[in-house]
Structure 1
Amino acid sequence: MTGRRRTRSTFLPWHHRFTRHVRSSALLAGALTASASLLAGCGVIPGTTGGSGDTSITVMTWAPEDTSATNKPGMPAFARAYARWINAQGGLGGRALKVLTCNDRNDSVGAAKCARRAVKEGAVAVVGSYSQYSDSFFPTLQGAGIPYIGGYGVTNAEFTSPLSYPVNGGQPALLAGLGRELSGVCGRVALVRPDTIAGDALPSLLDSGLDAGGHADATDQPAAEDATEYSAQAQKALAEATRGGGKGCVVPALGGRTSTFMDSFRRDDDASSVRTATVLGSVDQTVINSTGGAAGPYEGAYVTGWYPVASDARWNGMKKIISDEAFTDNRIEADDTGVQTTYIAYTVFKKVVESLGSGQVTADTVRSALDDGLRIETGGLTPTLRWQFADRLGSVGLPRLVNADVSLQVVRKGRLVAAKSGSVDVTATLESANLD
């Protein structure tokens, strides 16, 4: 494994701890004011001005679209719908919200271009976005002091950078929560994960939950993240999960390639002899729908998620926005975890602007409000959010992770439904994890 090329700045090995000596100039330099006028270009949502001049507030949402890997088109599409909706309500305190959107194209160059555009066009925050290339975009945001609110949670930097304000627990919380739940229902557990830097961190996270439940560690099976089929890996995982008797569990955590693995897995005659389980981000309702629903490979699978299931009434506010402003936009699904994350991120941003009253809304004032301990309620979709320089999980290298709640879901009749009521806080599980 020493000769593998590592290309993505996702969850780095846990011994690369976040250093607390962040230069103050990186935090404070270049605070930007909202633009007096927005440069013309695609992806801009027009709105009315508040008062005699243009007092609009500009933000950006980015995500990969039309690529051969992970795509999240619903996130920028929802951001545009949100802008139309909030502006129809009179804007944010009488100021129009202007949303820039950007396609990061799932590569480092695209991510860097998006960040530079955010700076150039006066964005006061990047809100509800997805990118695997934090090393490419965070330095640019940090140099301009632009906060990153509600990233999807796919990179280590989202849980370490002082300019990041995550709304969920990312892969750490999901895998720890999954291990904790599986410890009581599984025999042997086989993890199939990407042979990448991101994948290297996953076994320890899953094992932290298994260990908390007194279960043996999962067997670790790295696999190519860009494979077109996984027959050999499926056979090996089945052999590991069924060894020694008992109802074993196979846990594929291959991101966008999880469905490719599951397609290979279900073709094996022994597939029905084990349980399957995974995490949101590797599968969500849109993936289940596209792979056959109740007749597809995910039927009966356990899934850990960050939020309540999509049928929960707490999502009604998001669904109204979709209904009012994007009913015919098939990129936006209420079941899509990316869309849900973007909605929560814009909820956070709205609360921040409201807290500033009639004061100026800039990258600096937005960041200061968040850093000063502003407590944000999200209607029960998350616990109360409040970011400090280093929260409880700073001891394990995750100082910005403030929401470690996970929900256990299961696929029944082709739908993700709650397997049990409520959510579980896995902060203590992660605190006791051996992540070095």
Structure 2
Amino acid sequence: MTGRRRTRSTFLPGLLTRHARKGVLSAGTAVACASLLAGCGVVPGTTGDAGDDTITVMTWAPQSTKATNKPGMPAFALAYARWINAKGGINGRRLNVLTCNDHNDSVAAARCARRAVKENVVAVVGSYSQYADSFFPSLEGAGIPYLGGYGATNAEFTSPLSYPVNGGQPALLAGLGSALAECGPVTLIRPDTITGDQLPPLLDSGLKAGGHRASNDQRAAEDATEYDGQAERALRTTSTGTADQGCVVPALGDRNGTFMDSFRRAREDYPEVRTATVLGSVDQTVIDATGGASGPYEGSYITGWYPVASDPRWDGMKRVIREQAFGDNRIDPADAGVQTTWIAYTVFRQAVESLGDGEVSADSVTEALDDGLKVTTGGLTPTLRWRFQDKLAAVGFPRLVNANVTLQVVREGRLVSARRGFVDTTRTLQNADVNY
């Protein structure tokens, strides 16, 4: 991790009017056309004439890396395309999904974005990347909307061309902090990365809302093969030696399982310490693999963006998987990435349907979303609507329109709802100290 440059995402002004932004984007489009599509006469993100029966989008995510991997997101996007095309497409137009592997690498993420421009995609839909500073410039230059990102970076909640469907890590951690307000000492184990730097103040905002002191911030390598030292130190700083349970919060993505192996070995001397984390780091498969009711997650609070995977509101997504991806073990209906991709494509479909027989382009989709389109997701989220400045603009998240989270708990080895309905973290986030 030596030599890593720590920078914050560049915030694009959210106050640009749509007409002013068009002028800026058209200039960027000309540059992109000259550099990527020499001699082209096609505006990136345009399907062509209104009679064109193909809409091209892209979904990207890291795959086969040593850190966080989300192969289910592009795999589900392809399944969705097969499903929607079998039903006649969107407004009679065929959906063409391109996929890209960002390799958890800034250069590869930028390459995915440049390919999106070159391939004239209408939108990037339901994707994951930690490298917003690398991919947003190309998308913004070409006017391509980023719809339903995973919420892995602050830039997804600031760019005027970003349309997030969940509250990302900010909402998850704020909600988790509120749930842990009655805990003893709380230690956060998080990646020693730029993205990881954003996590402590968000968790602390929830703790503070419940009258709890700030967490102990403990950095760890994102791609380590063992965390024995970190686990021992976390247990030592969290333990009270009494019945007053302390809580360790691992937020290491795919490496949570590796950390928990070390944690379980070291925990014997600290039985009063429990764990809590956010969905995406832990799901039912992970709970089963770590011992179920006798494992380290028993009794843990876990915050998620959406209802539990067993909720009937997911039946539509499960039908797509059953009909078009049965046996594809990359696609787990309980995976928050797959769920986010389903919701993102649900939003995209409604945006395109709102255009009727008109041209489907990056600009027309953006206009539909910016002009007050209200999108419903069958109760998986509140009704979604994006403005240039929303409730959380004052704390640096002008595009964060869904701050709802669900609170879940592991009981007898099963991940179940701990509280009915959603918890709105808007007020907690408004009080977060994110200007570090």
**TM-score normalised over the length of structure 1:** 0.90
Q: Which amino acid aligns with 1:174?
A: L
Alignment of 1:89-104 (within 5 A): 89-104=87-102
Aligned to 2:125: 127
Aligned to 1:393: 392
Which of 180, 183, 199 is equivalent to 2:181? Answer: 183
Alignment of 1:21-420 (within 5 A): 24=21, 25-29=23-27, 30=29, 32-35=44-47, 54-184=52-182, 186-243=183-240, 245=242, 246-268=244-266, 269-420=268-419
Question: Contact (CA 8 Å) 1:173, 1:405: kept in 2 or not?
Answer: yes
In structure 2, do the counterparts of structure 1 residues 401 and 309 end up closer, same or farther at CA, with 3 Å as the change threshold? same
Question: Contact (CA 8 Å) 1:26, 1:145: kept in 2 or not?
Answer: no
Question: Contact (CA 8 Å) 2:404, 2:422: kept in 1 or not?
Answer: yes
SS class of match (2:217): strand
Aligned to 2:33: none
- Rounded to whole Å, the distance in 1 between the matches of 2:346 and 2:176 is 27
In structure 2, do the counterparts of structure 1 residues 291 and 399 end up closer, same or farther at CA, with 3 Å as the change threshold? same
Query: CA offset at residue 17 of structure 1?
Result: 6.2
Q: Greater CA deviation, 281-290 or 138-147?
A: 281-290
In structure 2, do the counterparts of structure 1 residues 201 and 33 end up closer, same or farther at CA, with 3 Å as the change threshold? closer
Q: Could you report, residue by residue, the CA deviation over 1:48-100 in whole angstroms, capped at 9, with x for unpaired residues?
A: xxx9x642111111111111211111101100110111111111011111111
Q: Greater CA deviation, 195-204 or 59-68?
A: 195-204
Q: Which amino acid aligns with 2:154?
A: N
Q: Could you report, residue by residue, the CA deviation over 1:98-152 in whole angstroms, capped at 9, with x for unpaired residues?
A: 1111111111121112111111111100000011111111111111100000000
Q: Greater CA deviation, 407-416 or 170-179?
A: 407-416
Aligned to 1:423: 422
Alignment of 1:12-27 (within 5 A): 12=8, 19-20=13-14, 24=21, 25-27=23-25
In structure 2, do the counterparts of structure 1 residues 78 and 8 end up closer, same or farther at CA, with 3 Å as the change threshold? farther
Q: Could you report, residue by residue, the CA deviation over 1:284-318 in whole angstroms, capped at 9, with x for unpaired residues?
A: 33433444444543233211100000000100000
SS class of match (1:304): strand
Q: Which amino acid aligns with 1:343?
A: W
- Rounded to whole Å, the distance in 2 between the matches of 1:338 and 1:326 is 16
SS class of match (2:352): helix
Aligned to 1:40: none
In structure 2, do the counterparts of structure 1 residues 101 and 290 end up closer, same or farther at CA, with 3 Å as the change threshold? farther
- Rounded to whole Å, the distance in 2 between the matches of 1:290 and 1:143 is 45
Question: Contact (CA 8 Å) 1:393, 1:399: kept in 2 or not?
Answer: yes
In structure 2, do the counterparts of structure 1 residues 8 and 309 end up closer, same or farther at CA, with 3 Å as the change threshold? farther
Q: Could you report, residue by residue, the CA deviation over 1:18-71 in whole angstroms, capped at 9, with x for unpaired residues?
A: 64476734444535354469xxxxxxxxxxxxx9x6421111111111112111
Question: Contact (CA 8 Å) 1:352, 1:369: kept in 2 or not?
Answer: yes
Q: Which amino acid aligns with 1:418?
A: S
In structure 2, do the counterparts of structure 1 residues 290 and 61 end up closer, same or farther at CA, with 3 Å as the change threshold? farther
- Rounded to whole Å, the distance in 1 between the matches of 2:329 and 2:360 is 33
Q: Which amino acid aligns with 1:139?
A: P
**TM-score normalised over the length of structure 2:** 0.90
Q: Could you report, residue by residue, the CA deviation over 1:201-247 in whole angstroms, capped at 9, with x for unpaired residues?
A: 21111111011111121122222222221112112211222237411
Aligned to 1:47: none
Runs of 4+ in 1 over 6 A off after TM superposition: none
Same amino acid, percent of matched pairs:
67
Query: CA offset at residue 253 of structure 1?
Result: 1.2
Q: Which amino acid aligns with 2:91?
A: G
SS class of match (1:192): strand
Aligned to 2:434: 435
Question: Contact (CA 8 Å) 2:130, 2:195: kept in 1 or not?
Answer: no
Question: Contact (CA 8 Å) 1:8, 1:133: kept in 2 or not?
Answer: no
- Rounded to whole Å, the distance in 2 between the matches of 1:434 and 1:156 is 14
- Rounded to whole Å, the distance in 2 between the matches of 1:396 and 1:308 is 27
Q: Which amino acid aligns with 2:115?
A: R
Q: Which amino acid aligns with 2:405?
A: V
